Amino acid sequence: MKTERVVSIIFAASAAYDGLLGAAFLIAPSALYAAFGVTPPNHWGYVQFPAAILIIFGLMFYAVATRPAANRNLIPYGILLKVAYCGVVFTYWFTQGLPDLWKPFAIIDAVSAVLFAWAWVRLRAPEQPRVVG
């Protein structure tokens, strides 16, 4: 399978994942918190704003999925999103404990960060031969 096709599949899956996850936490955060027994914050805006950002990143991942080489420059932002989330969740998970709700997302995001880094490297334009003269 060609690199661009694989990258398209990775980013289409990420677009769906982040878009749907963001939509769920934007539309029904109280139901999700209740279902997993997580104490909610004192204001739902603390959940809904990051949820909206996830939807925005989902749209960006869709742009990469549709034109991987042309939108390669967007991939580092996706890597940073995934690393930021993993950094926070894994730090709390291993030092202070964390509700189980957040753990699967961190594992998925860690895998996504690795796949995004692979895609970014593989989509690099081939070096042009140097003209010496």
Question: What is the number of residues in the chain?
Answer: 133
Model confidence over 90-108: pLDDT tens digits?
A: 999 999 999 999 999 999 9
First to last CA, the chain: 39
DSSP string over 36-90: TTPPPPSSTHHHHHHHHHHHHHHHHHHHHHHSTTTTGGGHHHHHHHHHHHHHHHH
pTM for this entry: 0.91
Yes or no: say if 15 and 65 are a contact pair by the CB < 8 Å rule.
yes
Backbone torsion region of residue 88, taken as left when φ is above 0, otherwise alpha when ψ lies between -120 and 50, otherwise beta? alpha
132 pLDDT tier (thresholds 50, 70, 90): confident
Looking at per-residue pLDDT, the higher value among 129 and 19 belongs to: 19
Model confidence over 32-42: pLDDT tens digits?
A: 999 999 999 99
Is the pLDDT reported for residue 133 higher than 70?
no
